[in-house]
Amino acid sequence: MKTLYVNAQGATIGVRGRALVVRKAAEPLEVVPTGSLVSLMIFGNVQVSTQAIDSLLNLGIDITFLSRSGRWRGQLSGDRPKNVYNRLAQYEVFRDHDKRLEVAKWIVEQKMATQLDWIARSMKTIRARESGRCQEHGEAVAEFEDGAATLSFRAGIDSLVDEGGTSGDDSWPPLPEARVQIQPLMVPWRDAQQDIRRIRRSVQEAGSTAGLMGLEGAASASYFGLWDTLLATTGMSFVRRSRRPAKNPLNALLNLGYMLLLADVERELIGVGLDPAIGFLHGLSYGRASLGLDLMEPFRAPVVDRTVVRSVLLRQVRAEHFQTLAGEIRLTDEGWKTFIGEYERTIAVSRTQIRDTALSLRGWLFELAERA
């Protein structure tokens, strides 16, 4: 099952039998069987016929609308799950400060675990290449420290990062080929690793979600601080994380990738009967999918960050694939197709893990709601 992404400005989407037909200027661009789809994502000026909408909604296939640059506009969904008791349990946990904080701590801990895994894999890749063992540089890495057995989260993420890579030199994440001294190169990686481990040990001591967000921000600063070292040979500078508007192409890729991931996560939350708007770490905000933001946190590194790093280091996405339009850095059509293809290749492995994690979260919320 896959997502169909349509970015051809002025295109139309219709239905013919059991297939969607994407056309532009009466010429067919793509014909996709509806039975192979999990969702449709539309960017910018693309028209969808009412017949196509009706067919997709009857099949339970969501339609997500975004601006050309990837800003969320809205979503059409078919019949929603009818078990209101799932959402009642979620609301009850949200209203209890201690229980809400327990879930929020789990989210932050798991995000840091995936960041540590990303760093460990990168360090092993460096050592493997420097010692001439390039063929197996995606080999076994440090285990997650604590896991979260209550939510069956450990199995989902372990499977995600084990299956998500590809064989050969594009395993996650590939690193520059330049021969360097191993030990000096390891220093910033070890420092970041120690920083995140230290911060992670403080998570259980936090007394508020605001405190947790501060810890999460500190860990992410150490994590993203490695990116310029990692991408030094690409000619692209990261400097620091910047959201909208993105300050550079790398942040533009991250912004687009995170928006795509949020749509995937939100769809799974709706599918298991939870309310995407009621989050535990991010809290309430008008019009925001706070639970979607919560659940996507542990999947940022193994899904989006991995896709961005691999695409840039393998020169699949390059500086010439970006342009500035209306004050925003955007991908060209060629760059967009390449990046979307890489994202879909990664998320195709991850969707089962995201759904399993959403199901586990739903079960845990029932347990917490019934706990005195």
Q: Which residues of 256-285 are buried (b: 16+ CB within 10 A; e: fewer)?
A: bbbbbbbbbbbbbbbbbbbbbbbbbbbbee
pLDDT at 11 over 80: yes
pLDDT at 130 over 90: no
pLDDT in tens, 265-276: 998 998 889 999
pLDDT in tens, 146-182: 333 323 343 333 333 333 333 333 344 444 444 445 5
**What's the half-sphere exposure (Cβ side, CA atoms, 13 Å) at 364?**
20
Q: How many angstroms separate the CA atoms of 336 and 339, rounded?
A: 5
Mean pLDDT over 193-203 rounds to: 95
Q: How many angstroms separate the CA atoms of 297 and 293, rounded?
A: 6
pLDDT of residue 131: 63
Question: What are the structure tokens assigned to 290, written together?
Answer: 């706070």
Highest mean pLDDT among 62-76, 161-175, 227-241, 285-299: 285-299
Domains identified in the chain and CATH numbers? 2-76 (3.100.10.20), 84-370 (1.20.120.920)
pLDDT of residue 182: 58
Mean pLDDT over 131-160 rounds to: 36
pLDDT of residue 76: 87
pLDDT of residue 162: 37
pLDDT of residue 253: 93
pTM of the model: 0.80
Residue predicted with more confidence, 126 or 346: 346
Calculate the average pLDDT of the chain.
82
Q: How many angstroms separate the CA atoms of 145 and 120, rounded?
A: 12
Residue 358, amino acid: A
pLDDT in tens, 34-77: 988 988 999 989 999 999 999 999 998 989 998 887 778 888 88
pLDDT at 207 over 60: yes
Q: Which residues contact 152 (CB under 8 A, 6 or more apart)?
A: 356, 357, 360
DSSP conformation letters of 292-339:
HHHHHGGGIIIIIIHHHHHHHHTTSS-GGGEEEETTEEEE-HHHHHHH
pLDDT of residue 124: 77
Q: Which residues contact 372 (CB under 8 A, 6 or more apart)?
A: none
**What's the half-sphere exposure (Cβ side, CA atoms, 13 Å) at 103?**
31
